[in-house]
Amino acid sequence: MLRISVIGSGYLGVTHAACMAELGYRVTGLDIDADKVARLNAGDVPFYEPGLAGLVEEHTASGRLRFTTSYEVAAQADVHFLCVGTPQRRGQDAADLSHLDAAVRRLAPLLGHDCLLVGKSTVPVGTAARILEAVSGLAPPSTTVDVAWNPEFLREGHAVADTLAPDRIVLGVVSERSEKVLKELYAPFVDRGTPLVVADLATAELTKSAANAFLATKVSFINAMAEVCEAVGADVTRLSEGLSHDPRIGDQFIRPGLGFGGGCLPKDLRAFQARARELGVGGALSFLGEVDAINTRRRSATVRLVREQCDGELARRRVAVLGGAFKPGSDDIRDSPALYVAEELSRSGARVVVHDPKANQNIRRHHPSLTCADTVLDACAQADVVVLATEWAEFADIDPAVLGAVVSHRRVVDARNALDAEQWKQAAWTYRALGRP
C-alpha cells in the first residue's frame, strides 16, 4: 500500500493527513514546529475544525497517522503532498512561496526511491513547473521524482466532510505514471463517481485560482447590488432571493453582508492578479481589483452604520461586536471582516467588546487592544450599539427582549443580514442592516 507524507500541518495539511489515514493509508504529517507536532501526536488539534480532532485522535492512536519534524522520516513515503501555506507577501499582492520552496529544498535531496510530489497549496500558475525543474536538480540522480498538482477545494468549517466527499478531483500531471498513482490513491472517491478532471500542471493550478476568484466575484456582485439598494431604499436580501431561484445563478455565495475574508479568498484574489500582470495579461483580471474594492467598502459601510447609530459620534461609545472569526464554524481570524470593523471602531474612540463562540483565544492573542467577553450578555452589557459581524447560528437565536435588558440602547447593526429584522423591531430595537432600507 502507498505510504503518504503530508508536508505542512496547518488546516489543509492536518485535514488531508487525517483523511488519508481514514481511507486506510499510513500517513506521516510533517511540520517544522516541534510544539505543534507534539500536540498533534497526542491527538490534540491546535485549531477548531469540526470532526478533525476525533479523526486525529483515532488515527494517531491506531498508529496509522503520526507527525514528525524530520524530513528524513517523511522522505520514506511514496507520495508526498505539499500542503504548506502560501500567504500574501508583506506589503505586496503576490504570494509568498518561501515556505513551499524551503520544503522542496529540504525534501528533494532525501528522496532515496522513485516517488511522487503532489502540490495541494494554492500557488501562482507556473509554480509546479518551476518545482519540477528544481526537483530534478536536487533529488539524487538515481531516483525518479514526478511532480503533480492536485488543488484543494475544502472550506474551513467543513474541511473533513469536503475532503472525504469532494465534489471533484482535479489532477495536473506530466506523466502517465503519476496519473495512475493518483487515480489509485483516490480510487475510493473515483469509484463512487466523484468527477475527475485530468489536465496539465498549469491548468490544474489555474483551476484553483479561478474557483476562488469566481466565488469572491459572486460575493462582491451581491454586495455591489447592496450598494445600489442602499441608494434607492431597496432590499438586497429579497433581491438575492429573487436571483437564487434561477438555477443558472443558484443560491450559494450570493449572501449579502460584510463580505469575504479569511486566509484564502482575499489573498488568492490578489496573488492571481499579480501573476496575471507578470504574465502580461493583467487587463484580463483587472475586474478582480474592483471585486476586492467592493468587498473592502462593505467594511467601511458597516463602520459608517455604527457611527450613524451613535448619532455620528463614536468616541467613548460602547459597541458590542458579535463574532470575530472570518466566518461561522471556524476559529480562524485571518483577514476577518468582523475584526477589521472592531479595530476600526476602536481606533475611532469607541469602547469595543468582542465575543466569538470559538475564536476568543485567537482574538486575545492577536488583537490585544480589543477586549473580549466570554458570553454574548457580557459583551453587550451597557452597549450603545450591538453589531452582528459573523453569523454564528447562536447569534440568530438571541432573544432581542432578553438582550434588550442588558444594553444601554437598543440599537443593532446586522452586518450579515442574519437576524430576524421584524422580531428585533418588535422588541423596540432600532435595526439597521447593509443593503436594506
Q: Which residues are catalytic?
A: 264
Query: Which is closer to ligand UGA, CB of 29 or CB of 263?
Result: 263
Please tell me what DSSP assigns to residue 315.
Answer: T
Taking CB under 6 A as the criterion, the residue among 156, 356, 384, 414 binding ligand UGA is 156
Q: Which of residues 197-226 bind ligand UGA (CB under 6 A)?
A: 212, 215, 219
3-class DSSP assignment, residue 271: helix
Window of 60-68, 135-143, 148-156, 351-359 that interacts with ligand UGA by CB under 6 A: 148-156
Q: Rounded distance, CA 86 to CA 99, Å?
A: 7
Site membership for ligand UGA, residue 49 (CB under 6 A): no
Taking CB under 6 A as the criterion, the residue among 9, 15, 68, 122 binding ligand UGA is 122
Site membership for ligand UGA, residue 85 (CB under 6 A): no
Taking CB under 6 A as the criterion, the residue among 3, 89, 106, 155 binding ligand UGA is 155
Site membership for ligand UGA, residue 323 (CB under 6 A): no
Give phi and psi for 371, each to the nearest 5: -95, 135
* Nearest-approach distance from CB 275 to ligand UGA, in angstroms: 15
**Per-residue b/e over 330-340, b at no fewer than 16 CB within 10 Å?**
bbbbbbbbbbb
Site membership for ligand UGA, residue 327 (CB under 6 A): yes
* Nearest-approach distance from CB 22 to ligand UGA, in angstroms: 19
Taking CB under 6 A as the criterion, the residue among 265, 314, 380, 398 binding ligand UGA is 265
Site membership for ligand UGA, residue 80 (CB under 6 A): no
Site membership for ligand UGA, residue 253 (CB under 6 A): yes
Taking CB under 6 A as the criterion, the residue among 81, 260, 340, 431 binding ligand UGA is 260
* Nearest-approach distance from CB 184 to ligand UGA, in angstroms: 24
Contact between residue 197 and residue 132 where contact means Cβ atoms under 8 Å apart: no
Taking CB under 6 A as the criterion, the residue among 64, 153, 161, 406 binding ligand UGA is 153
Please tell me what DSSP assigns to residue 84.
Answer: -
* Nearest-approach distance from CB 326 to ligand UGA, in angstroms: 5
Any residues with CB less than 8 A from the CB of 381 and at least 6 apart, and which?
Answer: 406, 407
**Per-residue b/e over 367-391, b at no fewer than 16 CB within 10 Å?**
beebbbbeebbebbeebbbbbbbbb
Query: Which is closer to ligand UGA, CB of 75 or CB of 206?
Result: 206
SS (H, E, C) 32-64: CCHHHHHHHHCCCCCCCCCCHHHHHHHHHHHCC
* Nearest-approach distance from CB 48 to ligand UGA, in angstroms: 13
Q: Length of the chain in residues, anyone?
A: 437
Amino acid identity for residue 275 in this structure: R
Instruction: Extract the C-alpha cell encoding 80.
Output: 508526498
Site membership for ligand UGA, residue 264 (CB under 6 A): yes
Give phi and psi for 418, each to the nearest 5: -110, -10
Site membership for ligand UGA, residue 326 (CB under 6 A): yes
* Nearest-approach distance from CB 325 to ligand UGA, in angstroms: 9
Query: Which is closer to ligand UGA, CB of 43 or CB of 51?
Result: 51
Residue linked to cell 473592502: 296
Give phi and psi for 216, each to the nearest 5: -65, -40
169 has which bridge partners?
196
- As to burial, measured by CB atoms within 10 angstroms (0-12 exposed, 13-18 middle, 19+ buried), residue 34 is exposed
Residue linked to cell 453587550: 380
Window of 73-81, 251-259, 380-388, 421-429 that interacts with ligand UGA by CB under 6 A: 251-259
Provide DSSP, 358-376: TTHHHHHHH-TTSEE-SSH
Query: Which is closer to ligand UGA, CB of 118 or CB of 219?
Result: 219
Site membership for ligand UGA, residue 121 (CB under 6 A): no
Site membership for ligand UGA, residue 48 (CB under 6 A): no
Site membership for ligand UGA, residue 149 (CB under 6 A): no
Q: Rounded distance, CA 371 to CA 381, Å?
A: 13
Q: Rounded distance, CA 328 to CA 314, Å?
A: 27
Q: Rounded distance, CA 7 to CA 17, Å?
A: 9
Contact between residue 333 and residue 321 where contact means Cβ atoms under 8 Å apart: no
Site membership for ligand UGA, residue 124 (CB under 6 A): no
Taking CB under 6 A as the criterion, the residue among 10, 119, 166, 262 binding ligand UGA is 262
Contact characters 281-320, ligand UGA, x per CB under 6 A: ----------------------------------------
Site membership for ligand UGA, residue 261 (CB under 6 A): yes
Question: Would you tell me which residues interact with ligand UGA (CB under 6 A)?
Answer: 122, 152-156, 212, 215, 219, 253-255, 257, 259-262, 264-265, 268, 326-327
